[in-house]
């Protein structure tokens, strides 16, 4: 599934490239700037491990290890029981998640690979599972409550986790639709004020995410039902929010986009000129920008400390 989250807007990139407020007449490069921002955002997602800093709705499936499935994401703990001959390593009831998780909609544990029966697991104290880390987001691990009577059942794809995946789910100030969106395919509609919205921005209308591809006055043109959400109708006056991302990620996107924008005229040589007068091409510049995101690459279930 394609992720439609761009971490900077067309307007932000124009301001950044200009060094001051850009001319209101700078409109001819909209398509080029949008592609550059999307490319920079995709490069960021890939660098941090095919993650997304914005939310997307998906169901992820996990193998539960037993026998030939021992090499699964389920945590493997060495046996310390010396009293038994031939003691084997054993699995503990915790699953490192394969992506950052904002919130869970449902957890289903199928009792065998064939999925002929299943049970639903519920989060919380006196329930079935916990999400870890307890006190920070995003979540990176799902662990069975030690008191639950339910289980992870061995097999292929036997654990299904439906939820909102991504680093965060932060929203900007509210706008509203000026008229009803009467079909699930309508791509142009109005808002009361589009001044703080921009092309290449993801917005939330009701429970549907949309991606802005054009703005004319207060009329938006969008892609419908992006990031795993479902296109639907919306009443007049429905709230419209934009998504916000970590300032570090926004700056990295702008820095990368600036490098890509500059590359249009620089060819493929690593350095133009020589000595102190040489101009470094994007390979080194892009690597330096991406290195500012290393802190996010370490946010996994494996970054926890065990005693």
Rounded to the nearest angstrom, the gap between the alpha carbon of residue 49 and the centroid of all alpha carbons in its chain is 10
Domain count, the chain: 3
Based on the fold, state whether residues 259 and 214 are members of the same structural domain.
no
Query: Is the residue at 303 inside a domain?
Result: no
Q: What is the CA radius of gyration of the chain?
A: 24
Amino acid 274: pLDDT? 56
Amino acid 25: pLDDT? 66
pLDDT over 60 at 254, yes or no: yes
Amino acid 284: pLDDT? 80
Based on the fold, state whether residues 111 and 186 are members of the same structural domain.
no
The pair of three-digit structure tokens given for residue 152, joined into one six-digit string? 């992870």
Q: Whole-prediction pTM value?
A: 0.84
pLDDT over 90 at 248, yes or no: yes
pLDDT over 90 at 190, yes or no: yes
Query: Is the residue at 304 inside a domain?
Result: no
Which of 203, 223, 244 is the C-terminal boundary of a domain?
244
Measured CA to CA, the distance from residue 226 to residue 228 in angstroms comes to 6
Cβ-based burial of 151 (10 A; exposed 0-12, middle 13-18, buried ≥19): middle
Based on the fold, state whether residues 154 and 174 are members of the same structural domain.
no
Based on the fold, state whether residues 63 and 19 are members of the same structural domain.
no
Question: By percentage, how much of the chain surpasses pLDDT 70?
Answer: 80
Place of tokens 């330096």: 288
Based on the fold, state whether residues 201 and 176 are members of the same structural domain.
yes
Based on the fold, state whether residues 228 and 216 are members of the same structural domain.
yes
CB 77 within 8 A of CB 89: yes
Residues in a beta bridge with 239: 176
pLDDT over 50 at 120, yes or no: yes
Query: Is the residue at 131 inside a domain?
Result: yes
pLDDT tens digits for 192-214? 999 889 999 999 999 999 999 99
Mean pLDDT over 92-114 rounds to: 91
Query: Is the residue at 305 inside a domain?
Result: no
pLDDT over 60 at 76, yes or no: no
Measured CA to CA, the distance from residue 150 to residue 22 in angstroms comes to 59
Query: Is the residue at 180 inside a domain?
Result: yes
Q: In this predicted structure, which of 50-64, 133-147, 152-166, 288-302 has the lowest mean pLDDT? A: 288-302
Q: How confident is the model at residue 280 (pLDDT cuts 50, 70, 90)?
A: low
Question: By percentage, how much of the chain surpasses pLDDT 90?
Answer: 61
Q: Which residues contact 154 (CB under 8 A, 6 or more apart)?
A: 64, 65, 66, 67, 69
CATH assignment at residue 185: 2.40.33
Based on the fold, state whether residues 124 and 161 are members of the same structural domain.
yes
CB 52 within 8 A of CB 41: no
pLDDT over 50 at 86, yes or no: no
Domain that holds residue 100: 56-165
Query: Is the residue at 87 inside a domain?
Result: yes
Amino acid 137: pLDDT? 92
């Amino acid at each position: 599934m394609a992720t439609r989250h761009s971490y900077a807007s067309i307007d932000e990139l124009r301001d950044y490239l200009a060094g001051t407020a850009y001319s209101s007449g700078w409109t001819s490069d909209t398509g080029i700037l949008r592609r550059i921002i999307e490319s920079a955002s995709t490069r960021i997602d890939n660098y941090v491990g095919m993650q997304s800093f914005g939310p997307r709705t998906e169901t992820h499936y996990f193998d539960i290890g037993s026998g030939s499935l021992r090499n699964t994401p389920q945590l493997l703990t060495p046996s310390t029981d010396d009293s038994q001959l031939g003691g084997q390593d054993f699995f503990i009831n915790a699953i490192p998640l394969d992506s950052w998780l904002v919130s869970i909609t449902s957890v289903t544990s199928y009792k065998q690979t064939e999925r002929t029966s299943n049970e639903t697991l519920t989060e919380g104290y006196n329930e079935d599972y916990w999400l870890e880390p307890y006190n920070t987001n995003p979540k990176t691990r799902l662990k069975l409550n030690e008191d639950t009577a339910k289980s992870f059942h061995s097999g292929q794809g036997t654990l299904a986790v439906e939820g909102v995946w991504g680093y965060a789910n932060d929203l900007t100030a509210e706008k509203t639709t000026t008229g009803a969106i009467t079909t699930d395919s309508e791509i142009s509609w109005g808002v009361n004020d589009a001044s703080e919205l921009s092309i290449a921005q993801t917005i939330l209308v009701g429970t549907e995410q949309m991606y802005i591809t054009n703005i004319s006055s207060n009329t938006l043109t969008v892609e419908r039902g992006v990031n795993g959400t479902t296109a639907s109708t919306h009443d007049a006056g429905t709230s419209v929010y934009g998504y916000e991302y970590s300032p570090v990620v926004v700056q990295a996107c702008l820095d990368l986009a600036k490098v890509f924008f500059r590359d249009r005229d620089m060819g493929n040589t690593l350095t133009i000129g020589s000595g102190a007068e040489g101009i470094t091409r994007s390979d080194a510049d892009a690597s330096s920008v991406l290195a500012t995101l290393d802190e996010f690459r370490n946010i996994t279930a494996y970054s926890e400390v065990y005693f």
